[in-house]
Amino acid sequence: MPSIQTFIESLHQQYRDLDAGQLASYIPELAKVDPHYFAISVVTTDGQVFQVGDVGQPFTIQSISKVFVYGMALEDWGRDRLLEKVGVEPTGDPFNSLIRLDEDSHRPDNPMINAGAIATTGLIKGDNPTERLNRLLAMFRRYVGKEVYVDISTFLSERATGHRNRAMAHLMLNFGMIGDNLEEVLDLYFQQCALFVTCQDLATMAAALANQGRHPLTGEQVVKPEYVRDILSVMYTCGMYNFAGEWAYRVGIPAKSGVSGGILAVVPNQAGIAVFSPPLDQNGNSVRGLKVFEALSQEYGFHLFDLSMGHCRLKDSLSS
């Protein structure tokens, strides 16, 4: 079995010329990105780092932020109170759909789609918008293990064009799922989506979740351990949008993707893994990212139902 470093280098080589997928363009700033960026990072729960490609290239976290803000909302409100406002049911619809919200559920189905994420952001505690933003930034800083920044251009770009998200927020206000400070909530949501991260940062953040909420390098407890299971559950069932079922079948670990081309995934008790490659498929998931994760899962047997049967080979590969 190849060492993880050798294997990710070979995957990078194999897929770097794969010319498929489109850049997200509904947020104008995202359409300006170089589609050739390609990075793979693995951070183990004991702090080893394996990576290849453009691992230090900053990009905006987009929907991957939803995972961490959901964790914070769980800490702020607890499981039951939060469930009253945001469900945990996968939709099978695109991430920005508002059909079920309007015609059926009225409560957003889960926190990994836009409606649920906006409602979740609206629940973050704090006396005013600055305090709420500062709490979110402090939380992201704990996960990343260093200072974090919001990309103002992307924030403004999305604020100027995010009419679907605005429509969702209005629908949720109509159904009593969010308060009437709707523009403030949307600003905070657009700011969290515009957080700058690197591929290595994402793998580190995932490794903290793989490690019961303890940061693999700083040792800090970044989220209460009792909520890690909840976060991973919604990632597993809802994190890859309308590809979530197929992802669970093919790759089999909790994951979250974003329209800037990142995918972050958690191998419990082993490692956090991230891929960054901007071109997306029709579901909004990174094309190269899907290929890399499928190959990694097969090679090292870290599908959850391989893990639970003791078939995972990832730890062995770290020492070889």
* Cβ contacts of 231 within 8 Å, gap of 6 or more: 67, 70, 71, 74, 209, 223, 254
Burial degree of 83 (CB within 10 A; 0-12, 13-18, 19+): middle
Size of the site for ligand GLN (CB under 6 A): 11
157 binds ligand GLN (CB under 6 A): no
Which of 51, 62, 157, 242 touches ligand GLN by CB under 6 A? 62
Distances (CA, A) of 101 to 25, 93, 125, 171, 214: 24, 11, 24, 8, 35
Interacting residues of 5 by C-beta distance below 8 A, sequence separation 6+: 50, 52
Give the separation between CA 35 and CA 118, rounded to whole angstroms: 28
Among 71, 111, 252, 258, which residue sits at the site for ligand GLN (rule: CB under 6 A)?
258
DSSP letter, residue 299 = H
Catalytic, 259? Answer yes
Note whether 193 binds ligand GLN by CB under 6 A: yes
Q: Do residues 189 and 150 lie in contact, with contact meaning Cβ atoms separated by under 8 Å?
A: no
Is residue 286 at the binding interface for ligand GLN, with CB under 6 A as the rule?
Answer: no
Interface residue with ligand GLN, options 158, 185, 206, 296 (CB under 6 A): 158
Give, as ranges, the residues between 90 and 129 that touch ligand GLN (CB under 6 A).
95-96, 114
| The one among 259, 264, 273, 307 contacting ligand GLN by CB under 6 A | 259
210 near ligand GLN (CB under 6 A) = no
Residue nearest to ligand GLN (CB): 63
Q: State both tokens at 142.
A: 């704990």
Whether 157 sits among the annotated catalytic residues: the reply is no
Asked if 285 is part of the footprint of ligand GLN (rule: CB under 6 A), the reply reads no
Of residues 215 and 256, the one with the C-beta less far from ligand GLN: 256
- DSSP lists the bridge partners of residue 271 as 44, 267
The minimum distance between CB 258 and ligand GLN, in angstroms, equals 4
Examine the residue annotation and report whether 37 is marked as an active-site residue of this protein: no
Helices 129-144 and 199-210, interaxial angle, to 10°?
Answer: 80
Distance CA 233, CA 72 (A): 15
Active-site residue (options: 55, 66, 260, 300): 66
Could you tell me the smallest distance in angstroms from the CB atom of residue 241 to ligand GLN? 7
CB 285 within 8 A of CB 263: yes
CB 154, min distance to ligand GLN, A:
9
Active site residue 66: yes
**Which residues of this protein are in contact with ligand GLN, per CB under 6 A?**
62-63, 95-96, 114, 158, 165, 193, 258-259, 284
**Residues classed as catalytic:** 63, 66, 189, 241, 259
